[in-house]
Structure 1
Amino acid sequence: MSLAVVTGAARGIGRAVAERLATRHSLLLVDMSPAVHETAARLGAAAVRADVTEPEGIAAIVAAVDGASEAPALLVNNAGITRDALIHKMEEADFRAVVRVNLGGTYALTEALASRIVDGGSVVNLSSRAQLGNVGQFNYAVSKTGVVGCTRAFALAHAPRLRVNAVAPGFVESEMTGAMPAHVRERVVNGVPLSRAGQPQDIAEAVAWLGSKEAGYVTGQVLYVCGGRSFG
């Protein structure tokens, strides 16, 4: 089997992606949390604790890829953070931190690993439906809009050798959304045409498809997985 590298893999969407890909790839899981080792052990995967915004972290990931027995065929850039606030209350440090991780980390790791991914391989980036605009998520929306631009630029730069696409999740069940006040969560879910929150596995299926040969003529695209709430 070829190698798939998944960042932000300790929990949530990243863990679901790793579980889904484990049937067709060997795995290198990346996260800053020590919980990544638990996920990796359960899946029989390799793991590295690394910060994708730091040169030392990128170097550690590259070293792990170079030390693997299989060449990488898929990179999933899922690592990301949120630091929500209304725009007039947002601290500049929080704006910069979110952009640095969500966009900067995606750029840095893709740039570092692109030449190592096998011909015909794929990169899948995690954007968000929030890039269309969410109140209280100015920094997050900016960063995820940047991921879309990064995806399309890399798709052109690395064609025809590699495909580069993005998945844009909508409202997905997670530790963060689970902590929302019940009335806020209900209002959001009621605004979803499919009348339910997404599950991490919904996103994992989209990532797996874009990273597969079945999507072999798809590059530079953004796939919204949002229950139909891709506007407004």
Structure 2
Amino acid sequence: MSIAVVTGAGRGIGRAIAERLATDGHQLLLVDVSEAVEETARELEGTAVRADITAADGMAAIVSAVRESGHGPAVLVNNAGITRDAILRRMTEADFRAVLRVNLGGPLALTRELAPLLQDGGAVVNISSRAQLGNVGQFNYGVSKGGVIGVTRAMALALAPRLRVNAVAPGFVETEMTRAMPSEVAQRVVRQIPLAEPGQPMDIANAVAWLASHEARYVTGQVLYSCGGRSFA
């Protein structure tokens, strides 16, 4: 049995990743702090774990669920993340630390705990962001996602040859969060994208699924930008 663990799977990009991995035949163990994960798990016939990846009891619940499945996961997708946007001079220490704790500390801690349980030849895919190259008003988020790339490369070396570790860096993706942006701001961002449209959650899910698949068996320590070309524009 091939099991995929996906964090932040209740909605948006995480849910799309879960749907895509289910299509590839993976059984799903879906993690989120939100109750939305329970509905997602029901619809995709997976197992839901309501857990905070930054809390000791949350980590214990995830590890317990993996052990109870009776099978080591083949895939771990570290997608859970938060934003606390502010320009540098207005950013509080609490908001800076909160974003790093979830976005950077979470993937590091969960991978460390689950790596011994993952199947040989398994894959870890971390979700970074094009924002690590710099976004006004996202100082803490950009720092955290840049850290994810550093962690990805360090993990790739530490866990080779048994496991592969890569990252996907989304750009501007149409989700609940981006749809809540003022329209003029969203339109300005889209104008900066060479492919001239926002990404969709399934665009990110497809990139994750490829890196998690045997087709990418010789790829590790890499960052795949799925951002419509904005990483170089």
The two structures have a TM-score, normalised by structure 2, of: 0.98
Paired position in structure 2 for 1:149: 150
Residue 51, structure 1, aligned to residue 45, structure 2: no
CA distance in 2 between counterparts of 1:94 and 1:47 reads 28
Paired position in structure 2 for 1:77: 78
CA distance in 1 between counterparts of 2:78 and 2:209 reads 13
Residue 202, structure 1, aligned to residue 203, structure 2: yes
Alignment of 1:1-232 (within 5 A): 1-23=1-23, 24-231=25-232
Report the Cα offset of residue 55 of structure 1.
1.1
Contact 1:16–1:204, Cα closer than 8 Å, also in 2: yes
User: Pairwise CA RMSD of aligned residues?
Assistant: 0.7
Give the AA of the match of 1:13. I
Consecutive unaligned residues of structure 2, counting only runs of 5 or more, are: none
CA distance in 1 between counterparts of 2:72 and 2:111 reads 15
Consecutive unaligned residues of structure 1, counting only runs of 5 or more, are: none
- Say which SS state the counterpart of residue 74 (structure 2) adopts: strand
CA distance in 1 between counterparts of 2:183 and 2:36 reads 28
Give the AA of the match of 2:193. V
CA distance in 1 between counterparts of 2:142 and 2:232 reads 14
- Say which SS state the counterpart of residue 120 (structure 2) adopts: coil
- Say which SS state the counterpart of residue 187 (structure 2) adopts: helix
Give the AA of the match of 2:218. Y
CA distance in 2 between counterparts of 1:210 and 1:173 reads 22
CA distance in 2 between counterparts of 1:30 and 1:57 reads 10
Report the Cα offset of residue 6 of structure 1.
0.1
- Say which SS state the counterpart of residue 72 (structure 1) adopts: coil
Contact 1:132–1:231, Cα closer than 8 Å, also in 2: no
